[in-house]
A = this chain, B = another copy of it.
Amino acid sequence: MDDHLTVGRLAELAGVTVRTLHHYDEIGLVTPSARTAAGYRAYAAADVERLRQVLTYRRLGFGLREVAELISDPRADAVAHLRRQRELLVGQREQAAALIAAIDKELEARAMGIKLTPQEHLEVFGTDKVGGEWAAEARERWGDTDAYQVSQRRTASYTKEDWTRIKAEADAVRDGFAEALRTGLPASGARAMDLAERHRQHISQYFYECGYPMHRGLADMYLADPRFTGHYESAEPGLAQYVHDAFHANADRHQPAG
């Protein structure tokens, strides 16, 4: 009774109710590895660790049935779990950040006395949807590994190296734009438009299908969102506007009537 915990103790430790532990025992999700003579549940260190995994996955939006599958997956060791959990958490964090950005945008608009278009309001739904069904999406992704790389909009599971490459390419494009601006080339010139096209293809390859209409949207976003604006403005004043114009010029070139 010294290296084993009672339900009450474990519940307090883990921040859940006793009933929850009973429930997990009932459905066989976290079963105490021993019982006292009187029938008291006795949780060992390994049980605590298992509960920790369970609660982590639960927090990520998985149902208990799914959690059971995940943690009993024989081809996944502790590190694999941690990597998976990390990814999902990054997704959650990004999602929260996206919603914060949307709210900032709206607050800003209201502060300036501008009413946003219904279109812009719907962004929240969009991100919200992705958010609410994040786990579901993740599940689908793990289902078939073929369509996975192809159709996903988000950053899936890039390795550190991938990110480094992505960042490098993004910076290369930015620096290219900065130089074009400094040397006085027009935003609608061939050099700027080529850089815009390179950027569009980069986004398409690593993030999501980005057609010309969507690329136009990105251009506007880069002017509207201070974070993105800062990314370009910090390299060269006026660069955000320049990039914006180049994106649109490039879109005009490939798909007139925009």
| Residues in A lying within 8 Å of B, measured CB to CB | 13-15, 45, 48-49, 52, 55-56, 59, 78-79, 82-83, 85-86, 89-90, 92-93, 96-97, 99-100, 103-104, 106-108, 110, 118, 121-122, 124-126, 128-133, 157, 160, 163-164, 167-168, 171, 226-227, 229-230, 233-234
Contacts and interface: CB of A to CB of B under 8 A. Distances in A.
Each complex incorporates copies of this chain amounting to 2
B106 A82 contact: yes
Contact of A128 (B56, B79, B163): B56
12 contacts: A14-B125, A45-B118, A52-B124, A56-B124, A82-B107, A90-B96, A92-B92, A93-B96, A108-B160, A163-B227, A164-B230, A168-B234
A175 to B, nearest CB: 9
A30 to B, nearest CB: 13
A86 B108 contact: no
Contacts of A48: 118, 121
A211 to B, nearest CB: 21
Contacts of A59: 99, 128, 131-132
Contacts of A160: 108, 226
Instruction: Report whether over half of chain A's contact residues are helix, strand or loop; otherwise say mixed.
Output: helix
A111 B59 CA distance: 25
Contacts of A93: 93, 96-97, 100
B107 A157 contact: yes
A78 B52 CA distance: 39
Contacts of A56: 99, 124, 128
Contacts of A92: 92, 96
A83 B111 CA distance: 12
A89 B118 contact: no
A241 B122 CA distance: 42
A104 B156 CA distance: 11
B110 A85 contact: no
A129 B17 CA distance: 11
A241 to B, nearest CB: 14
A104 to B, nearest CB: 7
A164 B226 contact: yes
